[in-house]
Amino acid sequence: MKLFGKIVKTHGVQGQVLVKLNIEAESVIKPIEVLFIETKSGNEPFFIQTINLQSDKAYILFEGIKDVNEAVKLKDSKLFINDDLIDDDLAVDFEKLIGYLVVDEIVGELGQIVDIYETAGHDLLAVIYQEKEILIPFVDEIITDIDEEDKKIVVTLPNGLLDLYLDETPSTPDDED
């Protein structure tokens, strides 16, 4: 079994939950009928009534979860998926990316990934560059290649992103009277 994601909050009043995916949604190659929630006694199966997979999150309504009060009990639970539902060539295990070297196509080597922050919009790769932590959005528009063999991620940073972190001059409004 692989880590599918983590339930981060409820969604609506019908018992639906929002799951922050630990894998790419595109790597799911077969319909998901059941996910497993880690409990003290092992992995307990939870059957899916509806699922809406998006790039880095999923909205799921489990059978037997009838309202938000039942769903809130599942918050922070880790979900696991059967291996045969995932195409390993398409899957990205975000935890394995810590330590990967990040290389920008223009600037060159930026540094190693020291952490990954989960946000509502998308994950952020934390890289130490010139003794400062820079946060790089983990989105298709920026990540151009992930080389697992060389443990390297190639990115195309948007203009000005590095400047946001490296600019030492405090910004002040113009004093024009």
The CATH number covering residue 136 comes to 2.30.30.240
Backbone phi and psi for residue 84, each to the nearest 5 degrees, phi listed first: -70, -5
Identify the pLDDT of residue 38: 81
Is the Cβ–Cβ distance between 107 and 51 less than 8 Å? no
Whether residue 104 lies inside any domain: the answer is yes
pLDDT band of residue 90 (cuts 50, 70, 90) is very low
- Asked whether residue 43 falls in the same domain as residue 60, the answer is yes
Three-state SS sequence of 43-76: EEEEEEEEEEECCCEEEEEECCCCCHHHHHHHCC
User: C-alpha 122: how far from its chain's center?
Assistant: 6
pLDDT by residue (tens digit) across 105-128?
999 999 999 988 877 667 789 999
Q: Report the pLDDT value the prediction gives residue 143, as an integer from 0 to 100.
A: 87
Structural domain ending residue among the three candidates 50, 85, 120: 85
* Domain contains 60: yes
Question: Both 10 and 80 in a single domain?
Answer: yes
Per-residue confidence (pLDDT) for residue 26, from 0 to 100: 63
Q: What is the chain's mean pLDDT, rounded?
A: 84
**Based on the structure, what is the number of domains in the chain?**
2
Asked whether residue 79 carries a pLDDT value surpassing 50, the answer given is yes
For residue 60, is pLDDT > 60? yes
Residue 124 CB neighbours (<10 A): 17
pLDDT at 25 (0 to 100): 62
Is residue 72 located within the same domain as residue 104?
no
pLDDT of residue 120: 64
pLDDT, residue 56, reads 76
Mean predicted confidence (pLDDT) in 22-47 = 80
Mean pLDDT of 139-149: 86
Rg, the chain, Cα only? 20
The CA distance from 95 to 6, in Å, is 13
Q: Which domain holds residue 140?
A: 94-166
